[in-house]
Amino acid sequence: MDPSLANNPELLQFLNQEKERAMVNEMVAKLTSVCWDKCITSSPGSKFSSSETSCLTHCAQRYMDMSMIIMKRFQSQ
């Protein structure tokens, strides 16, 4: 590989963007997995019930709230 590519600012910015995109993707995937297990307790239907939809919505947000608590608690140790 052409060594000057390692310093190419466009390439570096691109790699940073893709890194961030990968982190976001991972978080969404993990949360969807956890919340699916928590919220979809019966056999999947042809659409979500409103309680399943709210559960999924709330689940993601509560997980993030919990994450904040954990970080704060951990940092205060």
Q: Which residues bind another protein (CB under 8 A)?
A: 1-2, 5, 8, 10-11, 14-15, 18, 21-22, 25, 27-29, 31-33, 35-36, 40, 43-48, 53, 56-57, 59-61, 64
State in angstroms the smallest separation of the CB of 70 from another protein: 17
State in angstroms the smallest separation of the CB of 24 from another protein: 9
Question: Between 27 and 77, whose beta carbon lies closer to another protein?
Answer: 27
- Considering only CA atoms, which of 70, 71, 43, 38 is closest in space to residue 55? 38
Question: Between 44 and 73, whose beta carbon lies closer to another protein?
Answer: 44
Under 8 Å CB-to-CB from 73, ≥6 apart: which residues? none
Return the structure tokens found at 17.
């963007």
Cβ atoms 5, 11 nearer than 8 A: yes
Amino acid at 57: T
